[in-house]
């Protein structure tokens, strides 16, 4: 069954998604056929269909003197979405310059819920920011959602070719992860659990510092060079200390 969130992520509401899927499953479908399949009143169908035409999901034509709709193919929609993202990426630098920022004012963004955390992690790691990321990691990063968070982080980092160094407390999940350090472009150093038992992840990438609680599904990112520098200094001191056990 198709998840309607897929369409929400590309700008369609629930009714628009229903109409698009109805037309997609039966080419050149009229309003009466859409109404029968979706349960949406015919009065609203024309308005919804017109919005879908404007968004590029449907095309309108005439058949036997009646107005009917034809669905744009999913592959064509995908290519259109890629084009939009590509054009936006090309404008990032110019848009960043337009953003009203005080040079010495930290930028703080809060994220709540699994979906927002995934978006945050996807945007946080980038080779354009820095070639390395560091973190004080907690067990939930390795265990929550059966390690899903770590796997997505690994996939993003390998794609961006960003190296990762982690300081973590001893656990079986950490030991298992450490075995794959080389192939996953990572270096892990382990500290005694009794003196290093974190409840959240604290990471730094470039000028950005992130605090993540995977158990409670929230995070916040602070973009401030001084804060990032301070966290890095603490990290390096522990990294080079004699308290590392593995």
- The residue written with tokens 């075995």 in the block is 179
Domain residue ranges in the chain: 5-75, 101-239
Which pLDDT band, with edges at 50, 70 and 90, does 189 fall under?
A: very high
Q: Which has more pLDDT, 31 or 217?
A: 217
Strand partners, 189: 167
pLDDT in tens, 205-221: 999 999 999 889 899 99
* Distance of alpha carbon 119 from alpha carbon 113, whole angstroms: 10
Phi, psi dihedrals of residue 101, rounded to the nearest 5°: -125, 135
pLDDT of residue 188: 93
CATH topology for 101-239 is Endonuclease; Chain A (3.30.870)
Which pLDDT band, with edges at 50, 70 and 90, does 23 fall under?
A: confident
Q: Biggest alpha carbon distance in the chain?
A: 83
pLDDT in tens, 143-178: 765 567 677 788 888 888 999 999 998 888 888 889
**DSSP symbol at 4:** T
Taking each continuous run of H as one helix and of E as one strand, the counts in the chain are 11, 10
Query: What is the CATH class of 5-75?
Result: mainly alpha
pLDDT in tens, 53-90: 999 999 888 877 778 888 899 999 999 889 888 888 88
Stated as kind and residue range, the H or E segment containing 163 is strand 163-169
pLDDT of residue 101: 58
Q: Mean pLDDT over all residues of the chain?
A: 85
* pTM of this prediction exceeds 0.75: no
């Amino acid at each position: 069954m198709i998840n309607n969130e897929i369409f929400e992520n590309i700008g369609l509401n629930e009714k628009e998604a229903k109409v698009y899927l109805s037309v997609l499953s039966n080419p050149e479908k009229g309003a009466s056929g859409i109404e029968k399949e979706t349960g949406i009143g015919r009065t609203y169908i024309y308005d919804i269909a017109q919005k879908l035409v404007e968004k590029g999901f449907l095309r309108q034509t005439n058949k036997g003197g009646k107005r009917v709709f034809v669905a744009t193919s999913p592959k064509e929609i995908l290519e259109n979405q890629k084009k939009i993202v590509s054009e936006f990426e090309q404008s990032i630098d110019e848009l960043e310059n337009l953003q009203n920022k005080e040079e010495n004012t930290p930028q703080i963004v809060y994220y709540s819920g699994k979906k927002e955390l995934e978006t945050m992690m996807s945007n946080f790691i980038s080779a354009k920011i820095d070639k390395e990321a560091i973190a004080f990691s907690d067990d939930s990063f390795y265990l929550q959602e059966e390690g899903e968070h770590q796997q997505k982080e690994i996939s993003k980092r390998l794609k961006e070719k960003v190296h990762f160094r982690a300081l973590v407390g001893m656990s079986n999940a950490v030991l298992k992860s450490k075995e794959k350090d080389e192939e996953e472009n990572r270096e892990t150093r382990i500290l005694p659990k009794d003196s290093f038992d974190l409840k959240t992840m604290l990471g730094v990438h470039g000028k950005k510092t992130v605090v993540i609680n995977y158990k409670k599904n929230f995070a916040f990112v602070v973009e401030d060079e001084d804060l990032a520098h301070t966290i890095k200094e603490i990290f390096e001191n522990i990294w080079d200390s004699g308290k590392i056990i593995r």
